[in-house]
Amino acid sequence: MTDPISLTLAEARDLLRSRAMSSKELTEAHLSAMAAARGLNAYVLETPDKALAMAAASDQKLAKGEGGPLEGLPLGIKDMFATEGVRTTACSAILENFVPVYESTVSSHLWRDGAVMLGKLNNDEFAMGSSNETSRFGPVVSPWRRKGDTAKLVPGGSSGGSAAAVAAGLCLGATGTDTGGSIRQPAAFTGTVGIKPTYGRCSRWGIVAFASSLDQAGPFARTVRDSAILLRAMAGHDPKDTTSVDLPVPDYEAAVGRSVKGMKIGIPKEYRVDGMSDEIEALWHQGAEWLKAAGAEIVEVSLPHTKYALPAYYIVAPAEASSNLARYDGVRYGVRVPGHDVTEMYEKTRAAGFGREVRRRIMIGTYVLSAGYYDAYYRRAQQVRTLIKRDFEACFEAGVSAILTPATPSAAFGIGEKVSGDPVEMYLNDIFTVTVNMAGLPGIAVPGGLDAKGLPLGLQLVGRPFDEETLFSLGETIEQAAGRFAPERWWA
């Protein structure tokens, strides 16, 4: 019989439904895989008791032929999602003792549909980072290593724990959040599939906020089909989030396998950035060829404001973050470091509770919103955002169904390699992904192949607003052509 932790989510679902396997067996297999993989540091909190109780309840339902679309399927939850009664820290010291009395809308949708919670997954502190090295629980180790090398690599970030856990078989799927690439970049680094849906597709209620106008939840999975199944559960209108959109959620799985014949795929010339490796360039070309072979038409498009996206992003995101993180003040919950007066208490608490990168972004954000600087920075960045949106709109109006780009400018790098240097080095990881958040569009990262050192590389497809279905169809086309990639289990 197949190793339960190598199954895809769709395969496991079918086995549970046919009663060929129980949720208990499936869940136990994952819990032992998690125990054996603690060296990867993917989970910051394991919830085995909860998992087994949920699995038992699922098995009862399945025995009666009942149960939701995700009944009995074990998943991991990024620590940015509030989970009722289960410690939720955003991987920050300032929330190290925080146990919410509420459940995020997205995770509650998963439990509504029968999924089983395995635990909370590591991420960059407050989702600020591209390598999962800013977590107060320490870095996540990627399950991938370079050929013939034991150097520890990053899984990407900020959803590094989610990406690593899915790649290493520590869950069938996981939730992530993506503010500037935090789902797509780690998916690309770990050979997994990650989709950031259109802004407004998933509710943000109960997700620790980083940058409200950019944050969006999405799934990680090992196949395009699995990510489609998960997104269908996660998405939907929520009256508690007025930025969530009241549109019906399509059956995304039905889009998987749909023909892409006749679709016009845009290749944006501005994405040929300086210093991009030949391997990435070749993969991009290969991706276009695969889609062409499936009947799509490849056209060159222009997104002229692309070069302003990253700088504008690093104004908008920190500005919103500086305000969103003001609530962590030591007064009501979380860590408090006493001081002689309230001002000193604030200063000591926030100095002790926030890590370096978070403090840096709070300071940048505070600066760009200051009197006298607002117009020069924040207002201009918002104007850039409008221009970026228009670039995409022009492409879509010209009949383009989706845009194909590399997901990242390079493969995964080593832990510690970029920490001490210029933070902008790290920020450049998001160069292909931030534009999509700035425009509020859906983007999917799909594995395209391995580089010469045996590390995964990903391709990104960017779609029209609320047209995730096309991304699943195109993503699966690439998946079919490229194949799937799994790391060797060196850690177990």
Partner 1 sequence: MVERFGAPPSPAPLPPRAEPTDLSRDAPLGKTMTAPVKTDKLIEGATGAFEVIVGMEVHAQVTSQAKLFSGASAAFGAAPNAHVSLVDAAMPGMLPVINEECVRQAIRTGLGLKAAINLRSVFDRKNYFYPDLPQGYQISQYKSPIVGEGEVLVDMPDGETVKVGIERLHLEQDAGKSVHDQHPSMSFVDLNRSGVALMEIVSKPDIRSAEEAKAFVAKLRTIMRYLGTCDGNMEEGSLRADVNVSVRRPGEPLGTRCEIKNVNSLRFIGQAIEVEARRQIGLIEDGETIEQETRLFDPGKGETRSMRNKEEAHDYRYFPDPDLLPLEFDQAYVDALAADLPELPDARKARFMGNYGLSAYDAGVLTGEKESADFFEDVVRAADGRTRDPKIAANWVLNELFGRLNKEGRGIAASPVSAGQLGAVLDLIADGTISGKIAKDLFEIVWTEGGDPKAIVEARGMKQVTDTGAIAAAVDEVIAKNPDKAAQAKEKPAMVGWFVGQVMKASGGKANPQAVNALLKSKLGIE
Compare residues 353 and 409 and give the one whose CB is closer to partner 1: 353
Among 371, 420, 421, 422, the residue binding partner 1 under the rule CB under 8 A is 371
Whose structure tokens read 């425009």? 439
The tokens describing 250, both together, are 């399509």
Residues contacting 337, CB < 8 A, separation 6+: 330, 345, 348, 349, 351, 352, 353
Measured in residues, the chain has a length of 492
Q: Which of 22, 92, 159, 182 is catalytic?
A: 182
Among 75, 164, 167, 209, the residue binding partner 1 under the rule CB under 8 A is 209
Among 43, 220, 271, 346, the residue binding partner 1 under the rule CB under 8 A is 346
Whose structure tokens read 């991304």? 471
Asked if 205 is part of the footprint of partner 1 (rule: CB under 8 A), the reply reads yes
Among 17, 98, 387, 390, the residue binding partner 1 under the rule CB under 8 A is 98
The tokens describing 266, both together, are 């845009």
Catalytic residue list contains 323: no
Which is nearest to 166 in space by CA: 154, 176, 158?
176
Among 196, 204, 222, 232, the residue binding partner 1 under the rule CB under 8 A is 204
Among 9, 40, 165, 211, the residue binding partner 1 under the rule CB under 8 A is 211
Q: Which of 107, 158, 227, 322 is catalytic?
A: 158
Asked if 351 is part of the footprint of partner 1 (rule: CB under 8 A), the reply reads no
Compare residues 68 and 339 and give the one whose CB is closer to partner 1: 339
Catalytic residue list contains 78: yes
Stretch that binds partner 1, among 140-148, 306-314, 336-344, 388-396 (CB under 8 A): 336-344
Stretch that binds partner 1, among 33-41, 150-158, 365-373, 424-432 (CB under 8 A): 365-373
Residue type, 259: S
Compare residues 77 and 400 and give the one whose CB is closer to partner 1: 77
Catalytic residue list contains 158: yes
The answer to whether 161 touches 79, Cβ cutoff 8 Å, is: yes
Asked if 340 is part of the footprint of partner 1 (rule: CB under 8 A), the reply reads yes
Asked if 102 is part of the footprint of partner 1 (rule: CB under 8 A), the reply reads yes
Q: Is 86 helix (H, G, I), strand (E, B) or coil?
A: strand
Q: What residues form DSSP beta bridges with 446? A: 459
DSSP string, 402-431: EEEEES-SS---BTTTTTSS-HHHHHGGGT
Q: What residues form DSSP beta bridges with 459? A: 406, 446
For residue 79, how many C-alpha atoms fall within 13 Å in the half-sphere facing its CB?
36
Stretch that binds partner 1, among 218-226, 236-244, 438-446, 469-477 (CB under 8 A): 236-244
Helix 105-112 and helix 224-234, axial crossing angle in degrees, nearest 10 = 110
Compare residues 105 and 162 and give the one whose CB is closer to partner 1: 105
Stretch that binds partner 1, among 63-71, 131-139, 203-211, 433-441 (CB under 8 A): 203-211
Stretch that binds partner 1, among 60-68, 152-160, 187-195, 200-208 (CB under 8 A): 200-208
The answer to whether 290 touches 477, Cβ cutoff 8 Å, is: yes
Distance CA 417, CA 313 (A): 24
Q: What is the largest CA-CA distance in the chain?
A: 70
Which is nearest to 28 in space by CA: 10, 65, 54?
54
Asked if 366 is part of the footprint of partner 1 (rule: CB under 8 A), the reply reads yes
The CB-of-466 to partner 1 minimum distance in angstroms stands at 16
Query: In the chain, helix, strand, coil percent, each to 5?
Result: 40, 15, 45
DSSP string, 202-232: S--TTBPPS-TTT-EEEEEESSHHHHHHHHH
> By CB under 8 A, what part of segment 374-393 binds partner 1?
374, 378
Distance CA 434, CA 214 (A): 9
**Count of residues interacting with partner 1 (CB under 8 A):** 50
Asked if 101 is part of the footprint of partner 1 (rule: CB under 8 A), the reply reads yes
Asked if 354 is part of the footprint of partner 1 (rule: CB under 8 A), the reply reads no
> By CB under 8 A, what part of segment 237-276 binds partner 1?
239-243
Catalytic residue positions?
78, 158, 182
Q: Which residues bind partner 1 (CB under 8 A)?
A: 81-82, 88, 90, 95, 98, 100-102, 104, 204-209, 211-213, 239-243, 319-320, 322-323, 325-327, 329-333, 336, 338-342, 345-346, 366, 369-371, 374, 378
